[in-house]
Amino acid sequence: MAGEEVVLLDVWSSSYAMRVKVALAEKGVEYVCQPQNLVSKGSSLLEMNPIHKKIPVLIHNGKPVCESLVILEYIDEVWPELSPLLPKDPYQRSQARFWADFINKKLYAGAKVLWKAKGEEQEKIIKDYIENLKILEGVLKNEKFFGGDTFGYVDVAFSPITSWFYTLEIFGKFSIEANCPKIVAWAKRCKERHSVSSTLPDSDKVYNYALDIKKALGLD
Ligand code: GS8
């Protein structure tokens, strides 16, 4: 790993960027964080991700890798020795990718709209959100992690959004624990890992950040 240059373009509140930080911590890879301004995007973000112009971007020895799930797979391939993330078996790998995609489409996308919505629209989003979490409870079964005994790709893909759960619950006036206790217990197990606890921001910090955005958007 000596002589490697690893840079992450991120913002602290982004669960997508947190995925990359958790994976790098699991692998023991040292890196430099370059926080980005997403309101007025800087030249390095525009150069490194000219297509989507989004964070996270991992820049490895000068070459950019974009899209958080693509970055996770890249990290797993480049640093395969420590904490393998994807299973070796092709069928198990396909399943891990399927659920990570589901988590993107349902839980990450859902969270983005849930805390800003109101009234009936919000009720419908919450109902769907709980249903999707329950589906994931069914996938987890009574395992320790989605990777079984070991913390793996789906755990890395999923755990960062739990830092937004408190914010979702306060703005949506519902309890995730009351509906999905197994997911909350799993999130606590993830938090026991240094990679996760050192990456995920405090719930209060996320809530205050979301509150400020709501005020700025005139949504409160
Ligand atoms: C999503 C990244 C993303 O939405 C991934 O990496 O998995 N599919 C991508 N990044 C946001 C910040 S987090 O909400 C972003 O960079 N937004 C800037 C913009 O939309 O202009």
| 114 domain residue, yes or no | yes
Does 2 score more than 80 pLDDT?
no
Q: How many helices (H) and strands (E) does the chain have?
A: 12, 4
The arithmetic mean of pLDDT across residues 202-218, rounded, is: 96
Beta carbon of 68 within 6 Å of any ligand 1 atom: yes
Query: For the chain, how many structural domains are there in total?
Result: 2
What's the pTM value of the predicted model, to 2 decimals?
0.97
The arithmetic mean of pLDDT across residues 187-194, rounded, is: 98
Shared domain check, 107 and 141 = yes
Final residue belonging to a domain, choices 33, 50, 78 = 78
| 84 domain residue, yes or no | no
Final residue belonging to a domain, choices 46, 78, 110 = 78
Mean pLDDT of the chain: 97
Q: In angstroms, what is the span from residue 16 Cα to ligand 1's centroid?
A: 7
Question: What number does the ligand 1 atom closest to the CA of 38 have?
Answer: 18
The whole domain housing 52 covers: 6-78
Q: In angstroms, what is the span from residue 10 Cα to ligand 1's centroid?
A: 10
| 117 domain residue, yes or no | yes
The arithmetic mean of pLDDT across residues 190-199, rounded, is: 98
Does 103 score more than 80 pLDDT?
yes
CA dist 153 and 89 (Å) reads 13
| 103 domain residue, yes or no | yes
The closest of 79, 47, 51 to 67, measured between CA atoms, is 51
pLDDT of residue 220: 74
Shared domain check, 192 and 152 = yes
Shared domain check, 100 and 69 = no
Shared domain check, 118 and 67 = no
106-149: pLDDT as tens digits: 999 999 999 999 999 999 999 999 999 999 999 999 999 998 99
Omega into 84 within 30° of 0, i.e. cis?
no
Which pLDDT band holds residue 3 (cuts at 50, 70, 90)?
Answer: confident
Which 3-state string (H, E, C) describes 114-145? HCCCCHHHHHHHHHHHHHHHHHHHHHHCCCCE
Question: What number does the ligand 1 atom closest to the CA of 15 have?
Answer: 13
| 83 domain residue, yes or no | no
Final residue belonging to a domain, choices 33, 55, 78 = 78
CATH of the domain at 71: 3.40.30.10
Phi and psi, residue 197, nearest 5°: -65, -30
Question: What number does the ligand 1 atom closest to the CA of 55 have?
Answer: 16
CA-nearest residue, atom 19 of ligand 1: 54
Beta carbon of 67 within 6 Å of any ligand 1 atom: yes
Shared domain check, 148 and 193 = yes
In the chain, what percentage of residues exceed pLDDT 70?
99
Beta carbon of 14 within 6 Å of any ligand 1 atom: yes
Shared domain check, 191 and 114 = yes
Shared domain check, 60 and 18 = yes
pLDDT of residue 219: 87
Phi and psi, residue 69, nearest 5°: -70, -35
139-185: pLDDT as tens digits: 999 999 998 999 999 999 999 999 999 999 999 999 999 999 999 99
Shared domain check, 166 and 140 = yes
The arithmetic mean of pLDDT across residues 85-92, rounded, is: 97
Q: In angstroms, what is the span from residue 55 Cα to ligand 1's centroid?
A: 5
CA dist 72 → 76, 194, 196, 215 (Å):
6, 18, 15, 34
Query: Which residue from 8, 55, 66, 163 has its CB within 8 A of the most atoms of ligand 1, so it is best to mutate?
Result: 55
| 193 domain residue, yes or no | yes
Which pLDDT band holds residue 1 (cuts at 50, 70, 90)?
Answer: low
